[in-house]
Amino acid sequence: MSATSFLRRLFGRGDGIDQRTSYLVSLCESLLGARGETSGAAIAREALAVYKSLDENAREQFFDVLTKDFSPAPEAVGQAADVYRYDPTPESLIRLQEAVEPLRQELFRRLNMAPGATAALVEMRRLVLKGMAKHPHWKVIDHDLMHLLRSWFNRGFLKLERIDWHTSAMVLEKLIEYEAVHAIQGWPDLRRRLDSDRRCFAFFHPQMPNEPLIFIEVALTRGMSASVQRLLDMSSSVESGTADSAIFYSITNCQEGLRGISFGNLLIKQVAEVLQRELPHLRTFATLSPIPGFRRWLQRTRGQLGAGADAKDHIALLDHIEKPDWHANDVPEPLVKLLQQLCAWYLVNARKGEEPLDAVARFHLSNGAALARLNWLGDTSQSGMDRAAGMMVNYVYRLAGVERNHERYFRHHTVVASRAVAKLARECPLASQPPASAEA
């Protein structure tokens, strides 16, 4: 009788647990018990197959068992820690580490022997994250998976690949599926985005060759783009002249199960290097980015515009943008000015703790980019209007300044802005706050 058929009899604990869950748990125990690795790979394969076949209920039971039965024993941990506390030798440290590491981690490592297991564990973490609100104790599973995935998806293992019309349909359809910032409207749209005046790059992991982890879309343009609709226009003519700017207009994380493992920063920098090498005449590397939190913040902040005559005028102006299609008609010049000042102020000064309030700003500024330019009506889509009154912003990555900006950001949370943006912020009615440092 083989290990597997023997174990098949073990399931059915009679405690209300699904038979398949029970069988899976017994496989996991068996996998952990396997000495030598002969049977290991076969058990891992079987365990993975069973896991994939679980329905939601059975899967929740399995996660519960993982939480409860595969954590370290408190008493044993305490004793090992006491030994180390009073006698911190190499041996006592190693014994402590072994006592503290949950069996879950070893289980996941052994499961990873099965073909396709890496992708399955990424997917498992996605489900754990999704269920954590309801099952807060799953946090330990998340923690262990995160620990392993962070190690396996270490930057050193990632491959940067260019995506273009030579790429397989299998990968291309994933772009269509995953792109969230500016949804891809089918294959003709995708084809335009991969034309000769565009670039697209993604990171892949050797174990998941058809699954992009993150991808970025770039437009090669003359001058810094100010409108995303113009970039997305499928019928726009292909730029044939010599571009001087690379505009990063969309960056998409594809794997929810890798949340918290950051690839974007590295991607932007590697792509900038690759482009600079391929196209030495490129002068500007910048984003065309949304400002997702502006109107929400504005809603909360209106009240602080004060009580003077000016303030009343301002508030009256701002009422304007509550009307549908307000931007389709003539927009009063003072409103344009006011919104730009407020938006600049928001980006430069609004904080959450010490960091910028706007999530996209936080990402690019912490990477070492600088606020370069506000773009009036840069995104007139519904969501662009709803979230930022149509404004967009360019963050510029200057190769020479990135490292210094990054350090200043991390030491002092300095927001580096162009003169123009800094000026707008200073002229904002809210400007009693300290100004952002201007860029040298």
Residue numbers annotated as active site: 289, 364
Residues 350-369 that bind a copy of itself (CB under 8 A): 366-368
Token pair listed for 14: 């009679």
CB of 279 to a copy of itself, least distance (A): 15
- In whole angstroms, what is the distance from residue 187 CA to residue 281 CA? 31
Q: In the block, which residue shows the tokens 């058809």? A: 210
Find all residues with CB under 8 Å of 288, minimum gap 6, and list them: 224, 225, 226, 228, 231, 247, 248, 249, 375, 378, 392, 394
Q: Pattern 261-280, binding to a copy of itself, x per CB under 8 A?
A: -x--xx--x-----------
**Residues shown for the chain:** 440
Report the residue from 16, 74, 280, 324 that binds a copy of itself according to the rule CB under 8 A: 74
Token pair listed for 2: 């083989």
Backbone angles phi, psi at 215, to 5 degrees: -140, 160
Residues 103-142 that bind a copy of itself (CB under 8 A): 109, 112-115, 117-118, 136-140
CB of 380 to a copy of itself, least distance (A): 29
Task: Count other Cβ atoms within 10 Å, centred on residue 209.
Answer: 12
Residues 156-215 that bind a copy of itself (CB under 8 A): 156-157, 165-170, 172-173, 186-187, 191, 206-207, 210
Of 10-18, 20-28, 80-88, 345-353, the window that binds a copy of itself (rule: CB under 8 A) is 80-88
Query: Is residue 281 near a copy of itself by the rule CB under 8 A?
Result: no
CB of 244 to a copy of itself, least distance (A): 22
Instruction: Give the C-alpha distances (Å, rounded to integers) separating 124 from 182, 254, 262.
Output: 27, 15, 19
CB of 241 to a copy of itself, least distance (A): 19
Report the residue from 55, 69, 91, 233 that binds a copy of itself according to the rule CB under 8 A: 91
Residues 387-416 that bind a copy of itself (CB under 8 A): 402-404, 406-407, 409-410
Site size for a copy of itself, by CB under 8 A?
Answer: 82
Find all residues with CB under 8 Å of 129, minimum gap 6, and list them: 142, 256, 257, 259
Segment holding 128, helix H or strand E: helix 117-131
Query: Is residue 80 near a copy of itself by the rule CB under 8 A?
Result: yes
Nearer to a copy of itself, 59 or 104 (CB): 104
Nearer to a copy of itself, 115 or 303 (CB): 115
Backbone angles phi, psi at 82, to 5 degrees: -60, -45
Report the residue from 8, 10, 29, 42 that binds a copy of itself according to the rule CB under 8 A: 42
- In whole angstroms, what is the distance from residue 383 CA to residue 391 CA? 11
CB of 192 to a copy of itself, least distance (A): 13
